[in-house]
A and B are shown apart, each in its own frame.
Chain A
């Protein structure tokens, strides 16, 4: 997410320099948006906001997010690491798997949810496999 970027940038300025990490998150976002492209043609509106960061292998991140019953949502995750295997899954406020469909491909992962209730949901992103120590990822979403 763009509001998340300043923290990453600040951390990076303290260590290695700002350019590369932001660039890889942006690259990961390009893949997430590429995954979204066919769904835009199906009438999904892709939000400009997104989340992003980097993860080690088998590491997960939880993102808390508001969803509205009546809409259908797709979450598209991207990474610039071609051989990495990434995943995104959606859980409701009680921790039950809520997605109706999910897929994984090189560079991409995605999940669709049709919320049964309006309220809080948890998006769990994971790098399942990667040749790199840290793998950049980005998550975009759309609704219809």
Chain B
């Protein structure tokens, strides 16, 4: 009986869990602690959210690249994948600017570019959801649908054995997000806001993915430019944790990413 009571008490007691180690050696993780070779790329809104908290709300309209019409696919698939990423990132900027018309244009553009990549089926649902949320000016829902759109098209590409293209979608989005971020930081530079550019693992991730792409993709003129640009900004954004990112570096990153975005959206590539 005593045993039964003790067991019952044990079942009712709050569970006792092992305290986590206060420190681990990250340079020498235990052998069973294999690192997962997969990096989650932040969506622009994750970074923009910090800027909104840091000081006066940035003028997001000023950093928008407004679309005059629905985006049309340009060049070969790697370029279209990069374009799709930039368009989705533009959607996040339009949400910050609370620009419903632009968001709707972006929804249609996502669908158009996804069609050119053979992944329009999943994009159709998202494009409609983006448009509906923009009509309702439900910005939280638009952000959610843009993130879902990014994930859906990438997943569809993986299903089509186009994982490399899905990484180019992520990279395109990251480049446009970084261009917008540097434009805002440059306008009212503070060490705190520039710290948001400290992203060494993302640079490492993109660098590795680009280096390991099949020659067919790697030799695409736009991909060549993007790879060169990523290598250029790597030392500026990958400083040790204690290093400040200077105003000059912010401008340089902005120059490089702006050139890359122009190259991604340009018709003739040399």
Contacts and interface: CB of A to CB of B under 8 A. Distances in A.
Tell me whether A and B are bound partners: yes
Interface of A: 1-6, 45, 47-51, 53, 59-66, 68-71, 85, 87, 89, 91, 93-97, 99, 102, 104, 117-120, 122, 124, 128, 141, 143-144
Contacts of A63: 35-36, 38
Interface stretch (B100-108, B141-149, B260-268): B141-149
Contacts of B18: 87, 128
A122 B26 CA distance: 8
A48 B33 contact: no
Contacts of A119: 198-200, 241
Interface residues of B, number: 52
B17 A87 contact: yes
Contacts of A69: 50, 192, 195-196
B40 A51 contact: yes
For the complex of A and B, the 10 pairs showing the least CB-CB separation, nearest first, are A70-B50, A48-B151, A89-B20, A95-B26, A49-B40, A4-B38, A95-B24, A60-B33, A118-B195, A48-B147
Contact of B34 (A62, A94, A117, A128): A62
A100 to B, nearest CB: 12
Interface of B: 15, 17-18, 20-26, 29-30, 32-36, 38-43, 45-47, 49-50, 53-54, 140, 143-144, 147-148, 150-151, 154-155, 158, 163, 166-167, 192, 195-196, 198-202, 241
Nearest to B39: A64
Contact of A61 (B15, B33, B40, B143): B33
A141 B200 CA distance: 20
A84 B247 CA distance: 50
Given A3-B154, A45-B144, A95 B50 contact: no
A91 B15 CA distance: 24
Contacts of A96: 22-23
Contact of A62 (B23, B36, B198, B201): B36
A97 B46 contact: no
